[in-house]
Amino acid sequence: MPLSDIDEVIVTNSLTKVYPGGVRAVDGLDLSVRRGEIFGLLGPNGAGKTTTAGMLTTRVIPTSGEALVGGIDVVRHPTAAKQVIGVVPQTNTLDRALSVSENLYFHGRYFGMNKSTARAETSRLLDQFRLADRADVVVDSLSGGMAQRLMVARAIMHRPAILFLDEPTAGLDPQSRIALWDILGELHVDGQTILLTTHYMEEADALCNRVAIIDHGKLLALDTPRQLKQSVGIDAMVTVTAAGDLDQLATVLGESISAATSVEAVDGHVRVWVRQLSGVLPAIIEAAERNGFAVSDLSSTEPTLETVFISLTGKELRE
Ligand SMILES: Nc1ncnc2c1ncn2[C@@H]1O[C@H](COP(=O)(O)OP(=O)(O)OP(=O)(O)O)[C@@H](O)[C@H]1O
Ligand SMILES: [Mg+2]
């Protein structure tokens, strides 16, 4: 079947990797990514994100199960699979002996472009990725954000059907992170299928059409960020600041706020997770004051993917 007819461009069936020594890094993973999606693999350090991306991009041999990119089995046909994917690995793999433009040019030549096409594509990508003024410098002199943009430019130069990015914004300053998000957004608008791994929940939330949350190599949940956040059954987390015995305030609020699903005293505040926010804020102030607490501040935030992760695993995404 031609690639353009395939709708599920990444498929894994019971995909498993056990490293020598016995670490079960990926454990029976079933995924399916649709054409044109930005799909996020979200999980904490050691969850198995890089190993999953590694198997899908032919760098890691699966122990069992199946992985298909563009309908091609990556174990049986690794060379064909490599033609349909572009990869931005977790570490900088630019060729330090080459200039910025040469890193692109020789990638194009390696993928079979003739000299004039490779030259034209190099200059087009340098413009698109705002690197034209750096064309002739050595890659060592690029900032982290520029190096990352060059890695993305190189990864899409042979026009792969699927782009893989492993922790694309790790270590970037906020401005470079936003610049890279913009570029990924533009590629998405052009129809590029993108799979990225991240442990930044805001990144997964902001960029991805759908997110798979994984931990210990297992899929915990897979849905749109919106659905995932709704699935925890919480409307908001209310943070109450007050003077006095906060454990006692937590008990008071737990007993008097009927919409509360859990209440805890942490870091000089009381956190109240509520099913329904409507009417809760005045009720908190009233219950606190009735019991002798003066509330000095009150704020509410909507659930995040972090909330989802905590509700699935009982632990936080960051270590
Ligand atoms: N080559 C290897 N040999 C043995 N164990 C490995 C190897 N690579 C990874 N692991 C182990 O497999 C598990 C998953 O690692 P992996 O790198 O896939 O996680 P990750 O989600 O990408 O983590 P990070 O967020 O730190 O990049 C970890 O326990 C890791 O120590
Ligand atoms: Mg990793």
Claim to verify: residue 220 and residue 86 sit in the same structural domain: yes
pLDDT the model gives residue 302: 87
Residue 36 CB less than 6 A away from ligand 1: no
Q: Are residue 48 and residue 152 in the same domain, yes or no?
A: yes
Q: What is the pTM of this model?
A: 0.86
Strands (E), the chain: 8-18, 24-34, 38-42, 64-69, 72-73, 85-88, 162-166, 193-198, 210-215, 218-223, 236-242, 260-266, 269-274, 295-301
Residue type (1 letter), 138: V
Burial state string for 110-120 with b = 16 or more CB within 10 A and e = fewer than 16 = eeebeeeebbe
Q: Residue whose CA is closest, atom 24 of ligand 1? A: 45
Q: Which two tokens stand for residue 56?
A: 């899908």
For 241-261, write each residue's pLDDT tens digit.
999 999 999 999 999 999 999
Q: Is the CB of 23 under 6 A from ligand 1?
A: yes
Question: For 135-143, what is the mean pLDDT?
Answer: 95
pLDDT interval class at 284 (50, 70, 90): very high
Output the pLDDT for position 318: 66
**Which ligand is nearest to the Cα of residue 26, counting in written order?**
1
Identify the band that residue 4 occupies on the pLDDT scale cut at 50, 70 and 90. Answer: confident
Is the domain of 181 the same as that of 37? yes
Secondary structure of residue 307 in the 3-state scheme:
helix
Work out the percent of the chain whose per-residue pLDDT is above 90: 83
CATH number of the domain encompassing residue 145: 3.40.50.300
pLDDT at 18 over 60: yes
Q: What is the pLDDT of residue 251?
A: 96
CA 131 / ligand 2 centre spacing (Å):
27
Report the SS3 class of residue 188. helix
- Mean pLDDT over 3-22 rounds to 93
What is the Å distance from ligand 2's center to 87 Cα? Answer: 14
- Residues 287 and 159 occupy one common structural domain: no
Asked whether the predicted pLDDT for residue 319 surpasses 60, the reply is no
Query: What value does the mean pLDDT take over residues 213-222?
Result: 96
What pLDDT, in 10s, does the model give residues 184-203?
A: 999 999 999 999 999 999 99
Nearest CA residue ID for atom 8, ligand 1: 51
Answer whether 238 contacts ligand 1 (Cβ < 6 A).
no
Taken in order 87, 91, 92, 94, the sign of the CA dihedral is negative
Is there a single domain that holds both residue 93 and residue 238? Answer: no
Q: What is the mean pLDDT of the chain?
A: 93
What's the pLDDT score for residue 278?
92
65 with 172, same domain: the answer is yes
What's the CATH code of the domain at 284? 3.30.70.100
Least confident among 69-73, 120-124, 176-180: 176-180
Give the number of domains in the chain.
2
Q: Measured between alpha carbons, how far is 14 from 295 in angstroms, rounded to an integer?
A: 52
The per-residue pLDDT for range 55-80, each reduced to its tens digit, is 999 999 999 999 999 999 999 999 99
Which one of 204, 229, 254 terminates a domain? Answer: 229
The domain of 244 spans 234-302
Phi, psi (rounded to 5 degrees) for 257: -100, 105
